[in-house]
């Protein structure tokens, strides 16, 4: 057994700040408030409902995760954030139409009390949106204003610690450029208003600079380049992303490992979606869609490894479509047609029609990520990319030179083993008990 890490207790309040206070953010905040009042249960949250096996099977030790690791209590969470619209979380939740109006009415005063701070925004990066609840100045001045917001929030709400979780819109597709190569170039770029620095990068910079853990819930480039990784290592901020793993991609990462485990071939995977929320409208813009598409497409290749299994997956045709269809609101419908083949090459088909509520799947991920990153910081984990949280993302960010792991079950094992290791418990290898000592 390894030594338990010296984890500081979760005393005081934890502030969770979200840039973007739309469907995901308001569903998360309203959900936690409803759960605190005993009105609902935290379904979908590994940290709140999951158990973890410890030691040998014969020991029958399977505590709840939240009783095993010292997480912040839901009652100690304080919410805040930024948006380009000044709507309170009550108005945002009502507009998103994800949770029932009856439930929102019961917690209305708490939700109305949470209002967004003015955002850092530029319509060039999200073509379908415009709002005037925004900051002005050079990119460096806006980064400094965000840092001041974080400081003020912490003081005013009496928080001990903060975590920032990006729940803002998907920006246009971007690749790392010279300005992202190192911290000095990036900071110079902020001062000179460099056009390749997007708002999501400014939030990430501000949080990381202050040593605050940062989650990227969208497929945006955000911090995924050397300059901000360098800064995170320097300040000790844990960072992870990108793009919450929900809906169709969640199902892909559940099914594809099963096909590979049984050596079944896949010749085609066609995925199409209709959704009518603001996210759907933003993704109706081809430049924002491209960012999402890249994030969704990477999954199958990585799980199925066509380079190792050319006979099974080399000719796989993978197509992803997202169509904006207002009547559905947040109630997305995703269809998958999967063409598979088996023994002697005989073809078979699988059809999936997932009537999904995107934000219902995303909200528990926001909670888990904030709690686990906060735990990681109190446990003294080194700053930078937190690969042990890949479980939660469509395209997990990895250190340069390493391939991302997309298989949900390998990701889950990694997450659980990291928690066991933090607490000085044996990691579980699933090697038969007859082959090892004890
Ligand atoms: N819903 C899901 O299951 C899911 C899954 C994975 C990823 N995501 C991503 O999470 C993000 C949020 O999704 P959503 O459904 O809540 O979308 P939404 O459109 O309801 O909310 C996004 C909010 O961000 C605000 N915003 C945009 N740019 C901003 C900026 N620079 N600063 C502050 N606020 C800004 C918008 O005004 C809006 O209120 C999107 O990028 C989406 O692609 C969502």
Q: What is the pLDDT of residue 22?
A: 96
Which residue among 17, 19, 24, 132 has the greatest number of ligand 1 atoms within 8 angstroms of its CB, and so is best to mutate?
A: 24
Question: Which CATH number is 60's domain given?
Answer: 3.40.50.720
Looking up residue 329, the CATH number of its domain turns out to be 3.30.360.10
Work out how many domains the chain is built from and give that number. Answer: 2
Q: What is the pLDDT of residue 436?
A: 66
Is 437's pLDDT higher than 90?
no
Residue 236, pLDDT score: 98
- If we measure between CA atoms, which residue out of 244, 241, 230, 242 comes closest to residue 383? 230
Phi, psi of 71 (to 5 degrees): -85, 160
pLDDT tier for residue 1 given thresholds of 50, 70 and 90: low
Residue 97 has pLDDT above 80, yes or no: yes
Residues 202 and 87 in one domain: yes
In terms of Cα–Cα distance, which of 172, 271, 176 is closest to 219? 172
Peptide bond before residue 108 is cis, with ω within 30 degrees of 0 = no
Q: What average pLDDT does the segment 247-269 reach?
A: 95
**Containing structural domain, residue 135:** 13-244+360-422
Task: Answer whether 107's CB lies under 8 Å from 39's CB.
Answer: yes
Residue 155 placed within a domain? yes
179 and 207 share one domain: yes
What span, in angstroms and rounded, lies between the C-alpha atoms of 373 and 14? Answer: 11
The answer to whether position 83 is within a domain reads yes
Residue 174 lies in a domain: yes
Q: Is 169 in the pocket of ligand 1 (CB under 6 A)?
A: yes
Statement to judge: residues 130 and 258 lie in one domain: no
Give the whole-angstrom CA distance, residue 229 versus residue 147.
18
Domain assignment present for residue 67? The answer is yes
Q: Is the CB of 217 under 6 A from ligand 1?
A: yes
Residue 438, pLDDT > 60, answer no
pLDDT beyond 80 at 435: no
Task: Tell me: pLDDT of 190 over 90.
Answer: yes
Do 267 and 207 share a domain, yes or no? no
CA–centroid distance, 138 to ligand 1, in Å, is 24
- 79 and 201 belong to one structural domain: yes
Check the CA dihedral 328-329-331-335 and report its sign. positive
Among candidates 129, 127, 111, which has minimal Cα distance to 119? 129
Same domain, 284 and 192: no
What letter does residue 116 receive in the DSSP assignment? P
Confirm whether 430 is domain-assigned. Answer: no
> Which residues touch 397 (CB under 8 Å, ≥6 apart)?
216, 223, 224, 239, 240, 241, 242, 385, 387, 404
Look at residue 197 and tell me if it is in a domain. Answer: yes
The reply to whether 21 falls in a domain is yes
Q: Are residues 336 and 261 in the same domain?
A: yes
Q: Is the dihedral of CA 403, 404, 409, 414 positive or negative?
A: positive
Please tell me if the CB atom of residue 295 comes closer than 6 angstroms to any atom of ligand 1: no
Indicate if 17 and 146 belong to the same structural domain: yes
Question: Is the CB of 324 inside a 6 Å radius of any atom of ligand 1?
Answer: no
Question: Is the same domain home to 199 and 252?
Answer: no
The pLDDT of residue 298 is above 60: yes
Whether residue 387 has its Cβ less than 6 Å from ligand 1 = no
- The rounded distance, in Å, linking the Cα atoms of 367 and 379 is 18
- In percent, the amount of the chain with pLDDT more than 70 equals 99
Mean pLDDT for the chain overall: 95
Does 371 lie in the same domain as 326? no
Q: Report the distance separating Cα 413 and Cα 428, nearest Å.
A: 8
* Residue that terminates a domain, selected from 356, 372, 407: 356
The predicted pLDDT at position 339 comes to 98
What does the alpha-carbon distance between residue 51 and residue 165 come to, in Å, rounded to a whole number?
A: 25
How many angstroms separate the CA atoms of 118 and 87, rounded?
11
- Residue 53, in any domain of the structure: yes
> So what's the pLDDT on residue 202?
98
95 and 210 share one domain: yes
Residues 387-414 have pLDDT tens digits of 999 999 999 999 888 889 999 999 999 9
- Nearest by Cα to 255 from 394, 350, 357, 393: 350
- The pLDDT value recorded for residue 210 is 98
Confidence of residue 330 (pLDDT cuts 50, 70, 90): confident
* pLDDT tens readout for residues 122-153: 999 999 899 999 999 999 999 999 999 999 99
One domain for residues 175 and 307: no
Helix (H) / strand (E) element for 241: namely strand 238-241
Last residue of a domain, one of 356, 390, 405: 356
Q: Which atom of ligand 1 is nearest to the CA of 126?
A: 28
- Strand ranges in 44-187 using DSSP code E only, listed in sequence order: 77-83, 117-118, 159-166
Query: Is 292 or 371 the better-scoring residue by pLDDT?
Result: 371
Give yes or no for residue 30 having a pLDDT over 90.
yes
| Residue 350 predicted with pLDDT over 60 | yes
The ligand 1 atom nearest the CA atom of 362 = 3
């Amino acid at each position: 057994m390894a030594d338990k890490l010296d984890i500081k207790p979760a005393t005081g309040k934890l502030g969770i700040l979200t840039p973007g206070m739309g469907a995901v953010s308001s569903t998360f905040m309203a959900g936690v408030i409803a759960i605190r009042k005993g009105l609902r249960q935290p379904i979908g949250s590994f940290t709140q409902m999951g158990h973890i096996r410890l030691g040998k099977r014969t020991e029958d030790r399977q505590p709840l995760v939240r009783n095993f690791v010292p997480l912040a209590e839901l009652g100690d969470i304080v919410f805040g954030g930024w948006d380009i619209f000044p709507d309170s979380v009550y108005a945002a939740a009502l507009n998103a139409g994800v949770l029932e109006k009856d439930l929102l009415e019961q917690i209305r005063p708490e939700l109305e009390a949470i209002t967004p701070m003015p955002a850092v925004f530029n319509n060039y990066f999200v073509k379908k949106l415009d709002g005037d609840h925004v900051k002005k100045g050079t990119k460096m001045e806006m980064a400094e204003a965000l840092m001041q917001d974080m400081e003020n929030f912490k003081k005013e709400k009496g928080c001990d610690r903060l975590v920032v979780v990006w729940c803002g819109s998907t920006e246009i597709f971007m690749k790392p450029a010279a300005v992202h190569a190192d911290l000095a170039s990036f900071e110079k770029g902020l001062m000179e208003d460099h056009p390749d620095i997007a708002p999501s990068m400014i939030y990430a910079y501000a949080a990381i600079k202050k040593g605050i853990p940062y989650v990227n819930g969208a497929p945006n480039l955000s911090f995924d380049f050397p300059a901000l990784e360098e800064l995170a290592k320097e300040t000790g901020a844990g960072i992870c992303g990108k793009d919450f793993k929900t809906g169709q991609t969640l199902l892909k990462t559940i099914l594809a490992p099963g096909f590979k485990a049984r050596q079944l071939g896949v010749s085609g995977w066609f995925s199409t979606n209709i959704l009518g929320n603001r996210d759907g409208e933003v993704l109706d813009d081809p430049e924002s869609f491209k960012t999402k598409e890249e994030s969704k497409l990477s999954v199958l290749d990585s799980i199925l490894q066509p380079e190792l299994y050319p006979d099974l997956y080399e000719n796989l045709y993978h197509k992803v479509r997202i169509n904006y269809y207002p009547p559905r609101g947040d109630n997305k419908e995703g269809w998958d047609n999967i063409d598979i083949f088996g023994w002697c090459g005989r073809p078979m088909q699988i059809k999936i029609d997932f009537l999904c509520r995107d934000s219902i799947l995303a909200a528990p991920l926001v909670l888990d990520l904030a709690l686990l990153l906060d735990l990681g910081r109190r446990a003294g984990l080194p700053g930078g990319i937190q690969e042990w949280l890949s479980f939660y993302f469509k395209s997990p960010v990895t250190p340069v030179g390493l391939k991302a792991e997309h298989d949900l079950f390998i990701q889950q094992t990694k997450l659980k083993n990291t928690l066991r290791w933090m607490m000085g418990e044996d990691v579980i290898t699933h090697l038969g008990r007859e082959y090892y000592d004890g």
